[in-house]
Amino acid sequence: MVQATKVKLQRVGNSLRATIPKEIADKLSLKHGDIVNVRSHDGLIEIEKAKNNSGTAKFYGALKVKDVKNWPTAQEIKNIWE
């Protein structure tokens, strides 16, 4: 087990942020953009790497290019935003 390291909490909006020391991030193979699960119990905070760490893959997996029959034209897209 890696020795505990003190980190200072920072305010981000209505939440708090704590940094994960490099040594721990390396041990868990965490990198920028990864998804983690955070939970608390008995006064402890537990952070684990999410099993399906691909949030965008899950989103984009819902739509496959071959499933799209008629792509909207540039004008149709422009009309949506006007």
| Tally of domains in the chain | 1
Q: Let me know if residue 4 belongs to a domain.
A: no
> Along the 82 residues of the chain, how does pLDDT read in single tens digits?
667 889 999 999 999 999 999 988 998 889 888 888 899 989 889 988 888 655 555 555 555 556 666 777 888 888 888 7
Q: How far apart are CA 27 and CA 74, in angstroms?
A: 47
Look up the domain containing 51 and give its range.
10-81
- Indicate whether 3 belongs to any domain: no
pLDDT for the residue numbered 20: 92
DSSP one-letter string for 7-25: ---EEETTEEE-PPPHHHH
Instruction: Assess contact for 7 and 19: CB atoms under 8 A.
Output: yes
Asked whether 53 and 66 are in contact (CB, 8 A), the reply is: no
Residue 10: per-residue pLDDT: 94
Tell me the whole-structure pTM to 2 decimals: 0.52
What are 47's strand-pairing partners?
38
Q: Residue 1: inside a domain, yes or no? A: no
State residue 77's pLDDT score: 80
